Amino acid sequence: MEKISVAVSGAYGRMGREVCRAVLEEDSLELTGAFDLHGLGKNIGEVLGRQGLEITIKELTKESLEEIKPMVLVDFTTPMAVIHNIETALQCGVRPVVGTTGITHIDLSHITHWVEKSGLSAVIAPNFALGAVLMMKFATIAARYFPQVEIIELHHDKKIDAPSGTALKTAEMIASGRLEDPPEKDELLKLPGARGALQDKIHIHSIRLNGLVAHQEVIFGGPGQTLTIRHDSFDRSSFMPGVILAVKNVPKLKGLVYGLENLIEFMT
């Protein structure tokens, strides 16, 4: 059986390195390229402590991608770079698997057009942790019975975008599962933003602190009770089963799959 060739964009970063390690552990996958603006010219094998792995970190361009022609490009970069990387990958006949957050609905419409034009497939997931996917699904179910809900998301202090893609996706899924809108109420905000941001009439509160990785809790309120659904990623390895699942299956897909829950439903 032919191995799936994989290149990683953002390979020098913490998530990128973890993806490289995960790909190297899979017999059905082959790491063939590493891209990043940091660590240019370094051998990703030395960065990972893997002897015998000779892959030089390069800048992601159409020319550098066509040189190695991977089947899949995994992207964990920044909101400023990811859209260009997705477009470049599809132009080169490479299927993107994207964990970079900060992608807007307008971005998604452009990406959908590029994917359809290329005749390829792509997977974009705000969160690749399987537990986070279940958290969002459970929250969607709870929304039928608890119209009042707020989201608190907590991430490391290096995360650029806020709210997180997971929080926005969760709010979207909760709104789709609601049987009724929450009651309107008057509020006196003594400081702007004290109640967080609003998405689909749901308050989202973002926390950025050193020592955190990725955490989210969804708190529902009802008469005399609350329901809290929480997920914690304490290590970046928690995202790898979802990433590997997407990499292995994206060659079989058609079009854009947005959200790992949709990929799991497709598989089942």
Q: Please list the active-site residues.
A: 155, 159
Ordered strands of the 57-58 beta sheet = 57-58, 29-35, 4-9, 72-75, 95-98, 121-124, 255-258
DSSP states along 74-103 = EE---TTTHHHHHHHHHHTT-EEEE-----
The token pair at 227 is 């329901």
Paired sense of beta strands 148-155 and 95-98, if any: unpaired
Q: Are 9 and 35 in contact (CB under 8 A)?
A: yes
| Percentages of the chain per state (helix, strand, coil), in multiples of 5 | 35, 25, 40
Long-range contact list for 162-165, CB < 8 A, 24+ apart? 162/206, 162/208, 163/197, 163/199, 163/204, 163/206, 164/101, 164/126, 164/206, 164/214, 164/216, 165/101, 165/102, 165/103, 165/126, 165/127
Closest CA to 74 of 24, 142, 140, 145: 24
Ordered strands of the 202-208 beta sheet = 197-199, 202-208, 148-155, 214-222, 225-233
